[in-house]
Each structure stands twice: as structure tokens, then as C-alpha cells.
Amino acid sequence: MSQSNQKTVRVGLLGIGTVGGGTFDVLRRNQEEIRRRVGRGIEVTMVADLNVERAREVVGKAAEVVADARLVVANPDIDVVVELIGGYGIAKALVLEAIAAGKHVVTANKALLAVHGTEIFAAARAKGVIVAFEAAVAGGIPIIKSLREGLSANQIQWVAGIINGTTNFILSEMRDKGLDFEVVLKEAQQLGYAEADPTFDIEGVDAAHKATIISAIAFGIPVQFDKAYVEGITKLSATDIRYAEQLGYRIKLLGITRRQAHGIELRVHPTLVPHRRLIANVEGAMNAVLVQADAVGTTMYYGKGAGSEPTASAVIADLVDIARLMDVAPGARVPHLAFQHDELSTTPILPMDEVVTSFYLRLRVADQTGVLAKITGILAEQDISIDAVIQREADEVSGEGGNQTDLMILTHDTKEGRMRQALVQIQALPTVLAPIVSLRKEELA
């Protein structure tokens, strides 16, 4: 039976900047196609933005524009509130008020969900409303839909993703041009790829918000951003990117979550990835997410992780879902975190000492007999197996006689705690002349 007589879904946008503007434009441009898919129209009828004039320029007479977002949230004619304000402050209050008013919510706010998701989803359950968040992770890539629905037959084993375009752009430029981090960051800011205050991106926080949400829906656990390990790219040097390349690896900022027997890994850090892997070849501001699951094997999802219309694509897909499901009993909808809420698992997030990875080490050492033997001896005591060792003349030989060299060691998998103990001992050797660089490596096989 056709549903095309159902009433139009009325949407209130909170914020009409880059993503809000894209959402308005795409909804209008594709309204007929969307109506054919959904069986009813979806229309932005109200917009809140502090810049009322600019908002009016975007929407014309198509929607009412107000400065006060609370007028949208309180309007009984609005069915769905789309929160595009960002941050934890006013955005959280507005989302909770919208839920309390019985409205469905779409949000692109990964920070809000990674930190306050448990409270927000509980409030939504109590009111029987949907909180949809496809746009919060990897922009236009439908990774939430894929994990929550497309892969629902599987036990997911791990997910590893390039989920921050800013840092991927910076790393690509550093590798391509052999430039240092600070130089490329300035270039990225000039080109608009990095914000004036880039802290959340370059320190890995944005990626950790997204990885936290991914871990929750992949494994059916609550969102636990406070347990995520977060390391950005600010300390990465062009030297290590070059050495990694010589060893057959690229360095990517990965968000990784992996199921182990007694817990779940949740971490963001620069990672060496074999250059022959597809994900190692994701360059510039693009995003990609690799999922390993027991039945399907490996799948990979690639696309734009930010931007006006790519993110609008995700926001509108959520609006389409809501338009289809708003008249369905709440229990028959896809649960917020993919698993029934009373079936969420208490499996802990593992401390980093328990995380298993292989490593790349770079050591500036005195070029003397027995130095390598001492280092490998300490690694062996910690049961850390070596995969490869290369030696290169140090870039900047300092000191009398310049009798120094760089040693690069690749290890097999080990518990991070063992590596930390080994590194303390190796660093204390008098023949180790500079702070050791240690980077995690993932084969992603």
C-alpha cells in the first residue's frame, strides 16, 4: 500500500552553517527523489541560527528563521530537531530538551555522543524517540548504518579507521613533500583543511570521539570516551615517516577498536600500516574504515569524512530513517547502539599495557660493538620477538667524531606493557644517545 499520503515530516535545524546549509540545499534539490523513497515529504520548516540574516539568505521564505534555538525545540509543529551546533554545552541542553518534548533528534555531534551518549540514549528510550547520528562518524560514509545493520549477522573482531581528514591531509603532505609537522599544519590552515584552533584534530581527540562511538556499536558496549587512549600526530617527525616508507610502511592516524578475550581495545595513535594495504593509500582529507568480522571477512568503507554535502548526505539519510520509522513501535526500531539496550555488555576497555601491537623503534646509538646485542637482549628478556632491524647513518651526527647511528627495529606483536618495560631499560643504556621513538604498527591482515 502506498504511503504517499502521509503527512510531511517537519524538520527544525539548529545551526545553518556548512552542514546545515548543505542539508537544506540537498533536501530541496532531491525532494522528489526522497519523497519517492520515503512515501512522504521531508521539509525544513524552521531554522535557528545566531546569524539570522545569513540564515535568511540561505532559506529565503522556505522556512521560519529565529535566533533562539529553544523556539525550535519547543515548537509543537516540529517533528525532528537536527542539532548542528557542536560541543558539549548548549548542544547537550537542546538535545535533551528536544527529547523531553518528544521530538526525534539527528545530530552530527560526535563529542556530545562519545561523552554523554549514555545519558542521551537513556532519555531518548524513556520518551520513545530516535537519536540518529550517522553524520557524527566519517561524514558521508554510511559506517554507522553498515555496522549497525549491514553487518548485524557478524561478530565484529576489529575496526580500524582513518576517521580524521585534517590529520590524514597533514600526514599525506608530510610524506609527499618530506616536510615537518609544523610547516604542513600552517599550510593546512591556509587551505582551510585545519581549523584556526586545530587541537581536537591534531591531538587525536576528534578521532577518539568517533572511535568511541564505533566501539559501542561494533561490540554492544556503552560509549566510554574517558577510557580511550588518545595520541595525536604533533610529535611525529618527517624522519620517521621516511624510515617507515623505506621499511614498506605508511604512517596513518588510526582509530582502532578490537575485541580481545577479556576486554576491548580502544585507541587512537599514529600507526605504521603496510603500504600495500588499501587503507595505507587513502590520502589527503579522505576517510576510510576497515572492519574485520567473522562471517563477511574484511570490508572497507571509503569517502569524504567532512564537508557540506557529504555530511548533509548522512544527516538526510537519518531523516529518511526517522520518516520511515517514526510511526513504528519503538521496540521495533534499530537500537541506538545496535544491540538491545538491556543486552549491552560490561566487557571492560583494556588499559594500554594490555593492548597487543607490534612496534617500530628508532634509536640513536653509539656505533660500537655490542650495542645491538644489548638492545635485542633486553627485548628478548621481555619476550619481544624482532621482525627486522636496519641501520642508517644518523641524519645529523653530533659530537666529536660523529660516531653515531640510527637503528630501526620492527617487532612482532607484544603486550604494550612489556614494551614499556623494555624501553625504560634500553633508554637507560649509556650507548643510547637520544630519546627513543616508538610507534605502534598494525599489519591489518
Site string for ligand HSE, 204-223 (x = CB under 6 A): --x-----------------
Q: What whole-number distance in Å separates Cα of residue 29 and Cα of residue 9?
A: 16
Q: Interface with ligand HSE by CB under 6 A: which range of 94-102, 162-170, 171-179, 273-281?
A: 162-170
Q: Are 271 and 255 in contact (CB under 8 A)?
A: no
Sign of CA dihedral 251, 228, 258, 422: positive
Q: Which is closer to ligand HSE, CB of 166 or CB of 257?
A: 166
| Phi, psi angles (nearest 5°) of residue 321 | -60, -45
Task: Establish whether 210 is a catalytic residue.
Answer: yes
- Minimum CB separation of residue 418 from ligand HSE in Å reads 33
- Minimum CB separation of residue 305 from ligand HSE in Å reads 5
| Phi, psi angles (nearest 5°) of residue 282 | -80, 115
Q: Does 49 bind ligand HSE (CB under 6 A)?
A: no
CA distances from 149 to 142, 146, 217, 335, 417 (A): 11, 6, 10, 10, 36
Q: Does 83 bind ligand HSE (CB under 6 A)?
A: no
For the chain, give the number of residues.
445
Burial code of 138-177, b = ≥16 C-beta within 10 A, e = fewer?
bbbbbbbbbbbeebeebebbbbbbbbbbbbbbbbbbbbee
Q: Does 117 bind ligand HSE (CB under 6 A)?
A: no
Q: Which is closer to ligand HSE, CB of 133 or CB of 158?
A: 133
Q: Which is closer to ligand HSE, CB of 88 or CB of 424?
A: 88
Q: What whole-number distance in Å separates Cα of residue 35 and Cα of residue 111?
A: 32
Q: Which is closer to ligand HSE, CB of 108 or CB of 371?
A: 108
Q: Interface with ligand HSE by CB under 6 A: which range of 34-42, 159-167, 328-336, 348-356?
A: 159-167
Q: Interface with ligand HSE by CB under 6 A: which range of 161-169, 262-270, 290-298, 314-322?
A: 161-169
DSSP SS3 for 15: coil
Among 23, 109, 164, 271, binds ligand HSE (CB under 6 A): 164
Longest dimension (CA), the chain: 86
- Minimum CB separation of residue 164 from ligand HSE in Å reads 4
Q: What cell numbers appear for 225 in the block?
A: 570516551
Q: Which is closer to ligand HSE, CB of 75 or CB of 167?
A: 167
- Minimum CB separation of residue 31 from ligand HSE in Å reads 26
Q: Does 305 bind ligand HSE (CB under 6 A)?
A: yes
Among 23, 45, 75, 166, binds ligand HSE (CB under 6 A): 166
Which residues, 366 to 425, sit near ligand HSE by CB under 6 A?
none
Provide the 10 A C-beta neighbour count for residue 345. 11
Q: Which is closer to ligand HSE, CB of 131 or CB of 208?
A: 208
Q: What whole-number distance in Å separates Cα of residue 363 and Cα of residue 380?
A: 17
Site string for ligand HSE, 250-289 (x = CB under 6 A): ----------------------------------------
Provide the 10 A C-beta neighbour count for residue 190. 9
Q: How many residues belong to the site for ligand HSE (CB under 6 A)?
A: 7
Q: What cell numbers appear for 375 in the block?
A: 638492545
Which residues, 15 to 34, sit near ligand HSE by CB under 6 A?
none
DSSP annotation string for 83-137: E-S-SSSHHHHHHHHHHHTT-EEEE--HHHHHHHHHHHHHHHHHHT--EE-GGGS
Q: Interface with ligand HSE by CB under 6 A: which range of 163-171, 227-235, 313-321, 328-336?
A: 163-171
Q: Does 165 bind ligand HSE (CB under 6 A)?
A: yes
| Phi, psi angles (nearest 5°) of residue 408 | -110, 125
Residue 139: name the closest of 312, 22, 316 by CA: 312
Q: Interface with ligand HSE by CB under 6 A: which range of 12-20, 88-96, 164-172, 235-243?
A: 164-172
Q: Interface with ligand HSE by CB under 6 A: which range of 32-40, 160-168, 234-242, 386-394?
A: 160-168
Provide the 10 A C-beta neighbour count for residue 307. 16
- Catalytic residue, chosen from 103, 210, 304, 441, is 210
Which positions are annotated as active-site residues? Answer: 210
Residues lying near ligand HSE in the complex (CB under 6 A) are found at 164-166, 201, 206, 305-306
